[in-house]
Amino acid sequence: MAITARNLTVAYRDQAIIDDLNLTLEKKTLTLLMGPSGSGKSTLLKALAGLYPQYGGQVSGKIEIDQTAIATLKANERAKRVALLFQNPDDQFAMPTVREEFIFALENLELDKDEIDQKTAWALEKVGLTDFIDRSFVTLSGGEMQKVALAEVLALGADYLLLDEPFAAVDSQSREDLQVLLQQLSQEGYGILVSDHDPAGYFDKISQFYQLKEKALVLVPENDWSQYDYQKQTVVLKPAAESDQAQDTAYRFDNLRIQNGERLVLDQDILQIFAAGITLLTGPNGVGKSSVLKTLARLHRYEGSLTYQEQEVHAWKPRLYFGQVGLLFQSASDQFLNITVDEELDQVMAKSHHADFWTKEILDQWLSDLHLTGLGDQSVYTLSGGQQKKLQLLLMLIMAPQVLFLDEPLAGLDEQSVAVVLNLIQTCQQALGLTILVVSHQTRDLVNIVDRHLRYEQTAMAYQEEVLV
Amino acid sequence: MMNATQRMILALAISLEISLTKSVTLNVVLFSVAFLLLLIRRQPLKKIGLYVAIAIIPVLGSFWSFYLYGQGTAAENLHFGLVMGSRVLVFIFIGAWLTMGMTPYVLLASLRQNLKMSATFTYGILGALNFMPRFKQAFSSIQAAGMMRGEVLRWWQPTLYFKALVHAIKWSKNLAMAMTSHGFQEGASRSAYRDYPMAKSGWVLIVLILIALQVILFFSRY
Ligand SMILES: Nc1ncnc2c1ncn2[C@@H]1O[C@H](COP(=O)(O)OP(=O)(O)O)[C@@H](O)[C@H]1O
Ligand SMILES: [Mg+2]
């Protein structure tokens, strides 16, 4: 009784993301799958859930579920055995309320009204959300949505649960709760596979641990787990050269409150972000870092006061504001305006705030260092995840606004690219005197180029000289 | 009484009727009845006010354009202007009556059950409705992305729509995957949690109302 993948290869546009992979996922186990973003975790999980090739991806090899080829099962037969929880909790519900969503799913299994009511109640009780049945999804937090999503697939009767980075938008308390819940479910007999890029909290609960490396799975022996459960080291930043001059302030927070849905993610007394230099913002998953960046970039509502250059952020005219402030979006494709790589580069070269710095020679040099040469006519939407990220960052650094917010600029980059990208960020910052605030999990890489560190815990941020890497 | 499908059918029949006739009397009667129904069913005054506000410009607009630029005599133009203006008013308030106390979910679900409309289609529409608020957000973030690059994207520029389309395609693909993963398959048979029966009394009522319209039309002199 298991899901097995034999010689599984999954490709997009003839480019293999998963190559000749073998995996057995038994019932009554909890498996952790780790790998940097862009390594193919989502791709593997979608293939295992039987969503490919229907939704893109070329698949070869065999996937069987309890000895039946998954490709031969109808959607509602498949849903009774295997279920996928998606990375983005917002994207997985077709209906506006919890009750309607369960009805929708269970109607697919052709159950009658009584069975639907009974399964819904049973599943919600299992995740401890009985009272949530009439809530609408817009009022739920990320963690609650993931619990409802879990209850939904339990109600469908799936024995194998695949969870794709289920904690990306979940605060650390809910993350722990859910991890415990997954452990209990696996002990009851479910076969569970969770992908994550952060190993925190797993090692006393899992039964297997795989790394997704170079398009294949590497089983990590239990003795080596402790290496991944890295005792985080602390690096102490050199105190900024305060002697130079009194540090200028770019942003001032005063009693700033930010809501994300129903949840208060930031409740900040007084804080300033200094002009010029690179500030690193760290904090647990789901604490609200992206919401803070969006607020600073005038893309999210706030209460209280947040000023840029002594003027309230929402009082700035958008055009003037975005003439000085830029945000590197978490998803690269949100940054693109044109179709081809050349069109994108030409556009920013024409509009750059520092056209004197960005000569053609300098651009060509960086393109070659970033391995982006020769892509000129290619559509930006067909680049690989890593290429998109590098291009996106290059575009924003060519624009070189006075203030730049970077949301996970290293996500999905290989080691060599990380080094080039760090060099690019640092070079531009120093040459042009930019103010940069960066949010990243990859603190070990960034710590060498940052000047200050803001730590974000619960609902407040504070400067710290120590950085966990 | 009428269920959602029957109400939809009645609303369509009335709309067709007033599109093909030129009776100010009938339009005024229909508007008054719809307005009264909204009041009797205790719809919030704010909502009714909103319908009126939505109506003002198209109603006055169509009235004036036919009154001022009509081809006939002054009296004919006045009559025609009033017909067109009141027609728009009826459309809006019949629409308000149709959606009164009814969610898009109920309407789509009963249309699907009663008229055997495809489930893919109805769930597609529902998904799109759920995305609406996020779409607004996406629009402003696309505009911000433009301004960060020194481009002001106006609503008439194709870039804006191209980007919005990219978002929409991504979302709809994610939603379709989630639906499949929850056991939904195009054309597969499903059970129904709720029934939306079309009662006989509803049909009787529809017929009576349509007869009443003919009677009003028969006696109407303007
Ligand atoms: N639908 C798709 N079409 C084309 N390329 C894709 C698609 N989905 C993912 N990719 C690419 O496949 C690679 C692996 O992506 P993904 O499976 O999402 O990784 P992970 O989940 O580990 O972050 C990335 O380079 C990504 O850009
Ligand atoms: Mg992923």
Has residue A274 got a pLDDT over 50?
yes
How many beta-carbon pairs under 8 angstroms link A with B? 142
Residue A244 has pLDDT above 70, yes or no: no
> Looking at the domain assignment, is residue B190 inside a domain?
no
- Please check whether residues B94 and B15 belong to one and the same domain: yes
Best of B106, B140, B149 to disrupt the A interface (most A CBs within 10 Å) is B149
Domain assignment present for residue B84? The answer is yes
pLDDT score at A246:
61
- Say yes or no: A88 contacts chain B, CB-CB below 8 A: yes
Ligand 1 contacts CB of residue A296 (under 6 A) = no
pLDDT tens per residue across span B39-94: 999 889 999 999 999 999 999 998 998 888 888 888 888 998 999 999 999 999 99
> In this structure, are B24 and B87 located in the same domain?
yes
- Length of chain A, please? 469
C-alpha to C-alpha distance for A266 and A188, rounded to whole angstroms: 38
Structural domain contains residue B66: yes
Domain identity same for B131 and B37: no
Torsion of the alpha carbons at A194, A196, A200 and A205, rounded to the nearest 10: 10
Q: What is the pLDDT of residue A241?
A: 57
Tell me if A128 CB under 6 Å of ligand 1. no
Nearest Cα residue to atom 4 of ligand 1? A12
Our answer on whether the CB atom of A385 is closer than 6 Å to any ligand 1 atom is yes
Q: Are residues B98 and B24 in the same domain?
A: yes
pLDDT of residue A469: 81
Q: Taking residues B178-202, what's their average pLDDT?
A: 92
Q: Is A464 in the pocket of ligand 1 (CB under 6 A)?
A: no
Residues B53, B97 within the same domain: yes
- Does residue B30 fall inside a structural domain? yes
CB of A38 sitting under 6 A from ligand 1: yes
Mutate to test the pocket of ligand 1, among A10, A14, A15, A17 (most ligand atoms within 8 A of CB): A17
Tell me: pLDDT of A149 over 80.
Answer: yes
Q: Which domains does chain A have, with CATH numbers?
A: 2-228 (3.40.50.300), 234-468 (3.40.50.300)
Q: Which residues of A touch B127 (CB under 8 A)?
A: 94
Q: Which of A89-98, B30-39, B122-131 has the highest mean pLDDT?
A: B30-39
pLDDT tens per residue across span A168-189? 777 778 888 899 999 999 999 9
Same domain, yes or no, for B88 and B146? no
Residue A164 scores a pLDDT above 90: yes
Q: Tell me, in angstroms, the distance from the centre of ligand 1 to residue B7's CA.
A: 47
> Residue A140 — very low, low, confident or very high, per pLDDT cuts 50/70/90?
confident
**Residue that has been written with the tokens 């596979």 in this structure:** A193
Best residue of A70, A76, A160 to probe chain B, by most B CBs closer than 10 Å:
A76
Same structural domain for residues B93 and B10?
yes
Question: pLDDT tens, B123-171?
Answer: 888 888 877 878 888 888 999 999 999 999 988 888 888 898 888 888 8
pLDDT over 90, % of chain A: 74
- Residue list, CB under 5 A from ion ligand 2: A 41-42
Render pLDDT for A306-351 as a digit per residue (tens, 0 to 9): 999 999 999 999 999 999 999 999 889 999 999 999 999 999 999 9
The number of distinct structural domains making up chain B is 2
B189 part of a folded domain: no
* Residue B114, in any domain of the structure: no
Interchain proximity A109–B147, CB inside 8 Å? no
Q: What is the ipTM of this complex?
A: 0.83
Atom 18 (ligand 1): residue with closest C-alpha?
Answer: A42
> Domain check: are B89 and B129 in the same one?
no
Q: Is any Cβ of chain A less than 8 angstroms from the Cβ of B134?
A: yes
Which residue segment(s) compose the domain that B133 sits in? 119-181
Q: Whose CA is nearest to atom 26 of ligand 1?
A: A385
Comparing A66-75, A200-209, A379-388, B66-75, the range with the smallest average pLDDT is B66-75
Q: Is residue B130 part of a domain?
A: yes
Closest-CA residue of A relative to B159 is A337
Give the mutation target among A13, A37, A42 for probing the ligand 1 site: most ligand atoms within 8 A of CB: A42
Residue-wise pLDDT for A277-309, tens only, equals 999 999 887 788 989 999 999 999 999 999 999
Quote the pTM value.
Answer: 0.82
| Residue B90 in domain | yes
With a 6 Å cutoff on the Cβ, whether A87 touches ligand 1 is no
Judged against a pLDDT cut of 90, whether residue A87 lies above it is answered with no
Residues B72 and B22 both lie in one domain: yes
**Between A413 and A106, the higher pLDDT residue:** A106
Q: Are residues B142 and B168 in the same domain?
A: yes
**pLDDT-based confidence at B214, cuts 50/70/90?**
very high
- In whole numbers, what is the pLDDT of chain A averaged over residues? 91
Residues B155 and B70 in one domain: no
Are both B102 and B209 inside the same structural domain?
A: yes
Residue B118: pLDDT over 70: yes
At A243 the pLDDT is: 46
pLDDT digits (tens, 9 = 90+) for A382-394: 888 889 999 999 9
Q: B182 vs A401: CB contact, 8 Å cut-off?
A: no
Q: Is residue A229 pLDDT above 80, yes or no?
A: no
Owner of token pair 């006010």: B49
Residue A104 touches partner B, C-beta closer than 8 Å: yes
